[in-house]
Structure 1
Amino acid sequence: MCGFVCLWEIDDQDGTLIEAMLSRLGHRGPDATEVAGLSGAPAVMGHCRLSIIGAENGRQPIRAGAEMLVANGEIYNHEDLRAILGAEIFDTASDSETILHLFRTGSQRWISRLDGMFAFVLATPDRIIAARDPLGIKPLYMARRGKGLAFASELKAFDGLGFEEISALPPGALFDSRGGLRQWYRVPSGAAKAEPELDVDAVAGELRLSLEEAVAKWMVADVEVGSFLSGGLDSSIIAALAQKVRVNAGRGPLKTFAVGTAGSSDLIAARRVAEHIGTEHHEFTFTAQDIADNLPHVIYHLESADADLVRSAIPTLFAARLARAHVKAVLTGEGADELFAGYTYHHDYVDQPRALADELTRSLCAMHNINLQRVDRMTMAESLEARTPFLDRELIAFAQSIPAQLKLRRTDPAITEATGPTTEKWLLRKACADLLPVDLVWRKKAQFDEGSGTVEALQQALRILTGGRGEIGRQRESALYREILRRRFKDPGMILSQAGQWNANRIAA
């Protein structure tokens, strides 16, 4: 895990530009920082590293022949690729080096063989290539300066430095200076109605196996991996499966991390889950003053003033800070709501499985600059790597093949009224019912900012910051976030223009 910048055909002979850009990304990689050019090519790359795999010799930029690479993320099938490509051609133990050697095979679809979360830039003497993982778990931005190109892991690297046409590389996309932009991955369309003869128990069993494989895969590391645990269904499933992986490997209990205000429902539920599955559990209780003190830090690193995103980013930051005191990487439950219909508004689609399937597909494609941006920025602000096993590519493919009717269904199949109660993530709950206490498996979902107590404490924090009394309305709250962001950036308009919106292009119910 890391942060990087790359300049292509941009004059920076004294290195001041790339050093300025890289200095703004140091939080993403405190273990090592390097800048290097490529002989005979108009490329210079800078990299700050958080060592997770290949800690001893995995420094970047990485060279192979006439090519050079900087990468962010994890390639989970790197050992298989290393065996296929030939271990003798590798100079490091880094998983990122597989990207270079796959490219050098000359295969047209070489990038599709990478399994993991990643963003990278690869330079040759006459060509620059940049790409991003299927869902955009790892960030990558591109900009122009004169006739040249620049790439960076976060928007703040470009702020006020004379760049133009700044934009995010789309998820699942590859940019090639020789051939332009192409979409190498597309999220498969979701299935809608279940066939009458479908064996629901068999589908649930296969889902469970897919989840177990994804969690085991996404725990591969040379450092200890912990897990966020809010006490909600998604993080509890991930933690329970990860605990099994650690125990079966004889590595001792999983470390889990929960945050909330004193007495919040998330802290109570997380404690129960941790006791049930046997993890080494850690908690942090935050206050309104903690939120007030950290809000500018949250907004600066989040690179967004969207009120919903800021609200959920606050407890994420505290969870990341808590976890970083114990581990360098954590698992999270991100993606389950988008795959299995977990949001409250999804209930509006209970009698419209086709619309629900399409909405889930849309929301998966939109995660990169909403929830995935929040998780990446808040964890990397604390030099912590976050991993999202629900967004494993094979698991996505299987989950999208599951009919939407099995994801959101009426609690009692005998109820036919349009106003009847519904259960979100029904099949996911069924597939993992044995992992957790029954009442927690069927616990009604609460948003992270609600269950953690953030919403009420945030009101108090906003009053502290504004000196106001009474309730701070949503409009004033949003305005305050924009004010804070404008104070932190030289070109706040550029930052605000890149922000995603929760309901943009939502499929009508």
Structure 2
Amino acid sequence: MCGITGVWGSSDSQSVKTMMETLVHRGPDADGLFISANDLGVLGHRRLSIMDPKGGDQPIYGDSRNQAIVGNGEIYNFPQLQPDLAQRYSFTTRSDTEAILRLYEDQGTASVEQLDGMYAFAIADQTRLLVARDPIGIKPLYYAEEDGRFIFASELKAIAQRCDRVQEFPPGTYFDSDSGFSTFYSVPDIPPDQDADPESLIQAVRKTLEMAVKKRLMSDVPVGCFLSGGLDSSLITAIAKQHLDELHTFSIGTEGSRDLKAARLVAEHVGTIHHEYVITPDEVTALLPEILYYLESFDQDLVRSAIPCYFTSRLAAEHVKVILTGEGADELFAGYTYYKSVPDDDTLHRELRRSVMTLHNINLQRVDRMTMAHSIEGRVPFLDLAMIELGQRIPASLKLRGEPIVEKWILRQAFTDLLPEEIVWRTKEQFDEGSGTVDLLGDMLSQVMSESEATEYQQKHRRDRLRSAEECHYHRLLMEAYDRPEPVLANVARWAERPV
């Protein structure tokens, strides 16, 4: 996990250095700068050292010193790619990022389709620039095109200080300075297999998730798990512990919250080294401006879930550099309450696919920003491409099932023997609910802005469609966090906007 930035079409290294300073939290371990020999562009990198901590500083160069890569993320099939490539290219590091560069040297832009991982990277190749983002958009990337320059960075805040119109770089897409944008992946539109044997699908879910977790344990530094005590994080924790002698887990909540109690039960059952932290209203009030600065959003739902994620990340950073988390399970297996109101299975199937497709600038943004605010790397096993494809093949009737209806039924069935029964069948609660954050915020925000003040504020900022006094407060704090907030505000996604 790192921060990348660059300018193509200009040799303005000072601007890149300034953007790099904004991204220090993404990579406190090292920094690097590449300036093309022909003054066509500059690439910048802030490093959080995960793979090859001593030898993997970036930029990493190709056979020519005018060919270089800066990257953010992890390539999980690096161990499979490297041996074949090493027969034709001389590797100078044990970094997975170098495998991207060597694969590009071997296959050109077709190389992006061979990568299995989460990433955003930029390759300077003589007079050409290639920039790419992973298929689901787990790793962030933003860009602007101004005065013949292509400017990019891992976070909005790095570009917003100098560009008026900033856009999100689309997931599953690469940009070639010679040919423009090209899409290489979209979430597959696969009809559910209505004739499949449910038991075979249950076994497939188990096998696929176990493989997804195992590959995400690849690291040269300690790995841990967020553990809320809900189904998703508990499954990931239990599977990870099967492969690690020691595993640290982390949970936060208000005093007496349901998540803290459930997480203790799972930690004891699985045998992890468990850590927890109790949050207070005063601490949330004091740190809310900082949370919003890093989050780059005022969306009410996103902020509510970002608050516990921020504190869990802070706690985890005291012990590990890599963290596994459960994002994506609700979108794949119908975990949210509103899915139960979808009128039929065909519509639900389409809505679940849409939900996965929109994760990149909602929940995945929250995971990335809150973990990186504390310089740790978040990994999301449920969003393995094989799991996403399998999720599309599973009929909706196996996701919402029973009387009363149980969400994520097939996921629960796949792991009934792995966790205590009360965890496997625990009622779904969103992170902000189970941790007690919603109740805490209700008391805290009641004194911040009256309804009449909120109405006036909403009218003043009508373009941003603020939904409540709470959201008005977040919007105001976000406005205060930046000297030039407009490009940030223009990119705020709305989790609540659904077509069903």
The answer to whether TM tops 0.5 is yes
Tell me, which stretches of 5 or more residues in structure 2 are unaligned?
Answer: 456-466
The one of 315, 322, 346 equivalent to 1:354 is: 346
Where 2:132 maps in the other structure, the secondary structure is strand
Q: Which AA in structure 1 matches 2:432?
A: D
Deviation of 1:36 after TM superposition, in Å, equals 2.2
Matches within 5 A, 1:313-462: 313-349=306-342, 352-409=344-401, 411-412=402-403, 421-462=404-445
Taking structure 1 as the reference length, what is the TM-score of the superposition? 0.92
1:59-83 per-position Cα deviation (integer Å, ceiling 9, x unaligned): 0111102411110000011111111
Deviation of 1:352 after TM superposition, in Å, equals 1.1
Q: Which AA in structure 1 matches 2:471?
A: S
Q: Judge conservation of contact 2:76–2:117 (CA < 8 Å) in 1.
A: yes
Deviation of 1:490 after TM superposition, in Å, equals 1.9
Between the aligned partners of 1:435 and 1:91, the Cα distance in structure 2 is: 42
The one of 251, 260, 270 equivalent to 2:263 is: 270
Q: Judge conservation of contact 1:193–1:354 (CA < 8 Å) in 2.
A: no
Q: Which AA in structure 2 matches 1:366?
A: T
Deviation of 1:177 after TM superposition, in Å, equals 1.3
Q: Which residue of structure 2 lines up, in the alignment, with residue 119 of structure 1?
A: 120
Between the aligned partners of 1:398 and 1:96, the Cα distance in structure 2 is: 28
Deviation of 1:33 after TM superposition, in Å, equals 1.3
Q: Which residue of structure 1 lines up, in the alignment, with residue 276 of structure 2?
A: 283
Q: Which residue of structure 1 lines up, in the alignment, with residue 458 of structure 2?
A: none
Label 1:437 to 1:86 Cα distance change in 2 as closer, same or farther (>3 A): same
Matches within 5 A, 1:81-480: 81-86=81-86, 89-107=90-108, 109-161=110-162, 163-192=163-192, 194-195=194-195, 198-246=196-244, 252-349=245-342, 352-409=344-401, 411-412=402-403, 421-463=404-446, 475-480=468-473
Q: Which residue of structure 1 lines up, in the alignment, with residue 33 of structure 2?
A: 35
Q: Judge conservation of contact 2:10–2:39 (CA < 8 Å) in 1.
A: no
Q: Which residue of structure 2 lines up, in the alignment, with residue 19 of structure 1?
A: 17
Q: Which residue of structure 2 lines up, in the alignment, with residue 417 of structure 1?
A: none
Deviation of 1:327 after TM superposition, in Å, equals 0.3
Q: Judge conservation of contact 2:165–2:487 (CA < 8 Å) in 1.
A: no
Where 1:310 maps in the other structure, the secondary structure is helix
Q: Which AA in structure 2 matches 1:165?
A: R
**How many pairs are equivalent?**
486
Q: Which AA in structure 1 matches 2:94?
A: A
Q: Which residue of structure 2 lines up, in the alignment, with residue 499 of structure 1?
A: 492
Where 1:444 maps in the other structure, the secondary structure is coil
Q: Which AA in structure 2 matches 1:182?
A: S
Q: Which residue of structure 2 lines up, in the alignment, with residue 55 of structure 1?
A: 53
Deviation of 1:507 after TM superposition, in Å, equals 3.9
Q: Judge conservation of contact 1:57–1:92 (CA < 8 Å) in 2.
A: yes
Q: Which AA in structure 2 matches 1:73?
A: G
Does 2:76 align with 1:76? yes
Where 1:110 maps in the other structure, the secondary structure is helix
Between the aligned partners of 2:39 and 2:198, the Cα distance in structure 1 is: 57
Label 1:292 to 1:464 Cα distance change in 2 as closer, same or farther (>3 A): farther
Deviation of 1:402 after TM superposition, in Å, equals 1.3
Between the aligned partners of 2:76 and 2:329, the Cα distance in structure 1 is: 20
Deviation of 1:253 after TM superposition, in Å, equals 2.5
Q: Judge conservation of contact 1:10–1:145 (CA < 8 Å) in 2.
A: no
Q: Judge conservation of contact 2:313–2:376 (CA < 8 Å) in 1.
A: yes
Where 1:16 maps in the other structure, the secondary structure is helix
Deviation of 1:193 after TM superposition, in Å, equals 6.2
Deviation of 1:459 after TM superposition, in Å, equals 2.4
1:466-489 per-position Cα deviation (integer Å, ceiling 9, x unaligned): 6x79xx996111111111111111
Between the aligned partners of 1:22 and 1:460, the Cα distance in structure 2 is: 38
Between the aligned partners of 2:2 and 2:398, the Cα distance in structure 1 is: 38
Deviation of 1:165 after TM superposition, in Å, equals 3.2
Taking structure 2 as the reference length, what is the TM-score of the superposition? 0.94
RMSD of aligned C-alpha atoms? Answer: 1.9
Q: Which AA in structure 2 matches 1:37?
A: I
Between the aligned partners of 1:98 and 1:298, the Cα distance in structure 2 is: 34
1:366-385 per-position Cα deviation (integer Å, ceiling 9, x unaligned): 00000000000000000010
Q: Judge conservation of contact 2:192–2:392 (CA < 8 Å) in 1.
A: no
Q: Which aligned runs of 4 or more in structure 1 are off by greater than 6 angstroms?
A: none
Between the aligned partners of 1:139 and 1:309, the Cα distance in structure 2 is: 16
Where 2:150 maps in the other structure, the secondary structure is strand
State, as a whole percentage, how many aligned pairs show the same letter.
47
